[in-house]
Amino acid sequence: MFKIQTLNKISAKGLNEFPREDYEVASSLQDADAILVRSQDMHQMDLPGTVKAVARAGAGTNNIPIPEFTKKGIVVFNTPGANANAVKELVILGILLASRPVIKANKWVNGLAGKGDEIAELAEKGKSQFVGPEIKGKKLGVIGLGAIGAMVANAAVDLGMEVIGYDPFLSVASAWRLNHNVKHAETLDTLLAKADYITIHVPQTNDTKGLINASTLRIMKDGVRIINIARGGLVNNADLLEALNSGKVECVVTDFAAEEILNNDKVICLPHLGASTPEAEENCAVMAVKQLRDFLEFGNITNSVNYPKCVSDNPIPAGGTRLCISHANTSGIVAKFTTILGDAKMNIAGMINQNRGELAYNIIDVDGIVPEETLRALATVETVTKVRPIFGKK
């Protein structure tokens, strides 16, 4: 019986993916095997040693202390792409809101309440103050062409925009998803100099924090419109305010509220609505649960933010053992595993070793039940952080 602790309200559609005969799921559990989380801050949490994995029902993992968990051998999953359509739709809405001042117009026309028969004439006379450009034929710069960026780029092409994309790490899979009309910018500066609208779709890292700053803003066209539904830290708000005040930036739509940008006539600030649709919450929950099950039941890792992808298509040997071992990516470690298993007269039926930077992960299938003393010997090999046996059914 696996124990799953939930730290936030998780979609029932996702939780229903856990077979109740094999899983206990609750918000308060002792000795949980895994944790499901959405937005709760885990940085100050003291996890029990039983925790093997944390799954974030969403793409961002800023609320999870990944380096600390990695040292403990805890695999951290996220759900890239599960909320992509919801975010894409909000970005397209943001582009339209940045163009046509409909929010200001709505507030103004509501102020005509009580004017009775005069309202229609007053509205007609006052509409000229809310003129905004069409997006058709305008240039949209998309920074980051992953699951969401690619969907935004394709939707913008369908709306008649000229789309320029920049992504130095563009994968083959992402490239295949792109409409052939999306133009590729060789450098970020090229995109910034050409775009009438800019939308950001990169993760927040040490390299991307403050990506939109005084230097990059200086390169942009006068009157540029910026949409940020990715991460608040990608934009330096102090530099942005200067650009708004000078007229360099005409409008900003952001999903990240901050004191310094609230109540600015040129800023449309939303309360982190990017994935706030029932469909996105369900998709993220289902994806997170399936990844946890695949890991807990079979040792497979997909969409981990700290460990390499490692998937075995083979069944666990009947009456045998699947060893899931995480360790530092240093030479000679795998040879020590095979020596220990050989000394214990255990036959290796299959082995997969994958690495990601300084980390490595192994799936080793062994005929027969690996005894406790052998598991302890494997765990004492230098740099090993976790040894987890999964026993096959007879």
348 Cβ partners below 8 Å, 6+ apart? 338, 341, 364, 365, 366
At residue 24, φ and ψ (nearest 5 deg) are -110, 125
At residue 6, φ and ψ (nearest 5 deg) are -105, 135
Structure letter (DSSP) for residue 117: G
Nearest Cα residue to 325 out of 368, 392, 370: 370
3 state SS of 194: helix
Nearest Cα residue to 35 out of 266, 45, 44, 390: 45
**63 close to 231: Cβ distance less than 8 angstroms:** no
Residue 228 Cα to chain centre, angstroms: 15
Site of tokens 């102020």: 111
- Within 10 angstroms of residue 201's Cβ, the number of other Cβ atoms is 28
Nearest Cα residue to 142 out of 103, 174, 99, 101: 174
- The most distant pair of C-alpha atoms in the chain lies apart, rounded to whole Å, by 94
> Catalytic residue numbers?
231, 259, 272
3 state SS of 252: strand
